């Protein structure tokens, strides 16, 4: 049984109105430079100290230039003072010029904040193939004044959005050996979201003290259970990244996997990332609802994850959910397609608390009740494979006319 | 270099208005029994002799009952006299009762046609989870009178449709060692279409003489290059099957892989299956156009196939094509996601004859010209990866409002 299941009570509590600047040591800012029409399009997170940091990146073979630059920064010392990001233009498929621009962005931010270049991470999100307007970026960076107040976090959260309709931020708190530890998160998502770090950005700050390598381990483990469990449209992007910065200002003893409270810290990170991941899925392009697939009884957790992702990734399931149609045949179709081990005669499916399939056979249920349930803005699809005790959750959204409208006219 | 590339001239020619009854030895029929509202919903192909036959099936772990029955028929002798199929109800996820019904359908057809049970194949397509109305089926089978005229093929083609808007049939001819050989095909597709034998049915008849095992080898090879290269929505079904019957009535010497004209026969099969596959993709649910991705310069043919399928399978590419938007960033995204070996700085992309990306960098092209090109009902996306000489094609369709409409209200 993984340490990460919710069954253990880790006393991790949500902080209302908390954000990436709630943990001690962090400030943030966002501004409008004109790369996007109206909303903020340039932002930064700044840390008072060199924060131990870790990151995971898109698996796309076409990684954008800024990811290479950020990777290079982190490789040197594993510590960051600042992150700078723009939205509107992704600086992807921009060749040598793109690399040059990403390095310039990093250099200018380092100069402006008075920190070493390798303690700065950069990223960009938006249209692929266009060059960054470096005059605008340069001028913008000079004006970035991070603040500790929540307005700084709000500005930053807006500055990372593309087609997102809402900003996404969260904050959790726990206590480790008597010391309060806070963690905040900000994210963007919307389209091109799929398991394996598709187009999404996540920024997590914490005042816990954790070394770079251990933080990397925890982030990888948690990303697999959260950001890699969401899908909007099955498309992966060139610029995805999740970054964690740990300031250590809380004053706890350094956390390592050997620390008795390590699992509490991992749970804090999991809660933060899961919250952001679900916000991304819910705000998928054109989505009207969040779909959570919970798969029990699989051969192992990995296979359960595969089935759960196949369900939330199926265009047929997604359109059925949009149409409030309790069409479990499409869920069975997705299960069958997942290649996970199944016992074809012993599969149960429920929509929320309404069983629709028992032992792989249709049972009578009220279509009216089912349709009323599917009218909720969060739908739980619960599957029991009765093979072993593998368990997983995955999240997605419905597929709507609006998704088509947005994506048939993204550039125009 | 595969024998299957189009560069060899095999003298395979299309037969206008040809169908599954054009090859010698075959008759067909279709009728309306009431399982679907209006269109034919029960059909059969009948062969004068025991035809050497071969089939490939869905890879879904939730294979419907009729597939097991058909598999059992073919396992015995590899020969078929008849195929019976209904549409409207898939007889999938129907447990023991479903198996019983599929066997009953086979037994009744065998009795009606006066042939051994194991020389009958059955299948069903439609809604998952409902039981077959066996009284209707039994009564219907008794009335099936296959005819050699093209009206029988037309009726059959209608009887296998679900949400398809048009029937799909084709016919090709060639000469092998001086003997004319004919091959006909019928198919249904529409939704739940994805590589690896997703919801689609294909029936191919030929008067060539080919043994069961060699026919199976050829079918597997050709399916990989045709039916497994189309996608509508990434969903795989429980009932997919492609079946080939070879009557041998043409009178040619038996074809084997050692025969000097074997590759001509394989090419005949490839052309027939590719034609059907493209018709299925073009008639994808809600589709307004066929998208063909042609990938050159991959590490090998397999990787080229993976990239081509990723492109035609991307919801973002599909919506861009619907919106007539020359958004090559999404094509690059799909290439990057395919995990095929790429040289990130040396990728070329063209839309038809309009280059939009050269050496991975945007080149200026007329958006008006590109948009006019994308208004065609067939779009060619041509990618050169410049890695080696792997080549492949794949086919899909655009993603439209209509797809969402159809699938948000399939059962209701």
User: For B345-403, how does the pLDDT look when each residue is reduced to its tens digit (9 = 90+)?
Assistant: 899 999 999 999 999 888 889 989 999 999 999 999 999 999 999 999 999 999 998 88
Mutation target among A335, A408, A410 for the B interface, most CBs of B within 10 A = A408
Mean pLDDT of chain A: 91
Closest partner residue to B93 (CB to CB) among A60, A192, A361 is: A361
CB spacing of A401 vs B405 below 8 angstroms: yes
* Selected catalytic residue, list B199, B231, B238, B264: B199
Sorting pLDDT into bands at 50, 70 and 90, what band is B235? low
Mutation target among B57, B58, B59, B61 for the A interface, most CBs of A within 10 A = B61
Sorting pLDDT into bands at 50, 70 and 90, what band is B236? low
Mean pLDDT of chain B: 91
Strands A13-14 and A168-176: antiparallel
The whole-angstrom separation of Cα A257 and Cα A236 is: 31
The whole-angstrom separation of Cα B42 and Cα A95 is: 58
Q: Does A329 touch chain B (CB under 8 A)?
A: yes
| Cβ within 8 Å of residue A60, ≥6 positions away | A236, A237, A238, A240, B333, B336, B337
Per-residue pLDDT, B316: 87
Side-chain-side CA neighbours of residue B61 (13 Å): 19
Closest partner residue to B408 (CB to CB) among A59, A90, A319 is: A319
| Cβ within 8 Å of residue B274, ≥6 positions away | B225, B226
Residue A260: exposed, middle, or buried by beta-carbon count in 10 A (0-12, 13-18, 19+)?
exposed
- CA-based Rg of chain A, rounded to a whole angstrom? 21
Q: Please give the average per-residue pLDDT across A338-363, as a whole number.
A: 92
Residue B195 has pLDDT above 50, yes or no: no
CB spacing of B60 vs A336 below 8 angstroms: yes
Q: Does B315 touch chain A (CB under 8 A)?
A: yes
Q: Does B60 touch chain A (CB under 8 A)?
A: yes
- Residue B77: name the closest of B123, B121, B118 by CA: B118
A30, A44, A131, A375 from A143: Cα distances, Å? 10, 11, 21, 46
CB spacing of B412 vs A323 below 8 angstroms: yes
Question: Which tens digit of pLDDT belongs to each residue from A59-112?
Answer: 788 889 999 999 999 999 999 999 999 999 999 888 899 999 999 999 999 999
Residue A245: exposed, middle, or buried by beta-carbon count in 10 A (0-12, 13-18, 19+)?
buried
The whole-angstrom separation of Cα B250 and Cα B330 is: 49
Mutation target among A131, A235, A398, A401 for the B interface, most CBs of B within 10 A = A235
Sorting pLDDT into bands at 50, 70 and 90, what band is B408? confident
CB spacing of A62 vs B335 below 8 angstroms: yes
Residue B112 has pLDDT above 50, yes or no: yes
Per-residue pLDDT, B31: 98
- Is B199 known to be catalytic? yes
CB spacing of A323 vs B408 below 8 angstroms: yes
Residue A292 has pLDDT above 80, yes or no: yes
CB spacing of A92 vs B332 below 8 angstroms: yes
* Selected catalytic residue, list A170, A199, A226, A272: A199
Per-residue pLDDT, A196: 40
B 185-214 residues with CB below 8 A of A?
191-192, 194
DSSP state of A193: -
Sorting pLDDT into bands at 50, 70 and 90, what band is A345? confident
Q: What is the ipTM of this complex?
A: 0.71
Contacts of A237 in chain B (CB under 8 A): 333
The whole-angstrom separation of Cα B274 and Cα B290 is: 13
Strands A378-384 and A290-298: parallel
Q: Please give the average per-residue pLDDT across B109-116, as a whole number.
A: 98
Identify the residue whose tokens are 């029937």: B167
Min distance B407 CA to chain A CA atoms (Å): 6
B191, B193, B269, B292, B357 from B395: Cα distances, Å? 14, 11, 18, 5, 21
Q: Does B331 touch chain A (CB under 8 A)?
A: no
Q: pTM of the full predicted structure?
A: 0.80
| Residue A330: both structure tokens together | 């499409």
Closest partner residue to B362 (CB to CB) among A129, A400, A412 is: A129
The whole-angstrom separation of Cα B306 and Cα B341 is: 11
| Cβ within 8 Å of residue A272, ≥6 positions away | A170, A171, A172, A183, A184, A185, A204
| Cβ within 8 Å of residue A48, ≥6 positions away | A25, A26, A27, A247, A249
CB spacing of A337 vs B236 below 8 angstroms: yes
């Amino acid at each position: 049984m993984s340490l990460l299941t919710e069954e253990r009570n880790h006393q991790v509590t949500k902080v209302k109105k908390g954000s990436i600047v709630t943990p001690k040591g962090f400030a943030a800012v966002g501004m409008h430079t004109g790369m996007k029409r109206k909303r903020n399009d340039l932002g930064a997170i700044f840390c008072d100290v060199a924060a131990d940091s870790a990151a995971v990146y898109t698996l796309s073979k076409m990684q954008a230039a800024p990811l290479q630059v950020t990777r290079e920064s982190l490789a040197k010392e594993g510590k960051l003072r600042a992150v700078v990001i723009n939205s509107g233009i992704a600086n992807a498929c921009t060749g040598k010029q793109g690399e040059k621009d990403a390095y310039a962005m990093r250099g200018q931010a380092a100069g402006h904040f008075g920190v070493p270049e390798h303690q700065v991470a950069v990223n960009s999100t938006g249209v692929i193939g266009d060059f960054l307007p470096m005059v605008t970026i340069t001028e913008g960076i000079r004006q970035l004044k991070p603040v500790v107040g929540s307005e700084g976090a709000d500005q930053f959260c807006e500055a990372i959005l593309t087609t997102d309709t809402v900003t996404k931020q969260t904050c959790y708190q726990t206590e480790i050996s008597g010391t309060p530890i806070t963690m905040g998160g900000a994210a963007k998502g919307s389209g091109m979201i799929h398991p394996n770090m598709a187009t999404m950005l996540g920024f997590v700050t914490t005042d816990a003290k954790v070394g770079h390598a251990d933080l990397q381990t925890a982030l990888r483990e948690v990303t697999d259970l959260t950001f890699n469990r969401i899908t909007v449209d099955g498309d992966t992007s060139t610029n995805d990244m999740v970054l964690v910065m740990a300031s250590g200002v809380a004053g706890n003893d350094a956390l390592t996997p050997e620390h008795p409270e390590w699992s509490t810290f991992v749970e804090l990170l999991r809660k933060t990332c899961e919250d952001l991941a679900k916000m991304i899925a819910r705000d998928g392009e054109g989505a009207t609802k969040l779909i959570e697939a919970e798969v029990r009884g699989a051969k192992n957790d990995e296979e359960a994850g595969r089935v759960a992702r196949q369900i939330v990734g199926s265009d047929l399931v997604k359109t059925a959910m949009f149409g409030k149609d309790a069409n479990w045949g499409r869920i069975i179709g997705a299960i069958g397609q997942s290649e996970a081990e199944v016992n074809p005669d012993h599969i149960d499916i429920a929509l929320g608390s309404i069983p629709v399939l028992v032992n792989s056979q249709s049972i009578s249920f009220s279509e009216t009740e089912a349709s009323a349930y599917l009218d909720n803005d969060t739908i739980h699809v619960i599957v029991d494979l009765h093979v072993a005790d593998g368990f997983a959750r995955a999240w997605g959204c419905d597929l709507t006319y609006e998704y088509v409208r947005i994506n048939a006219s993204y550039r125009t």
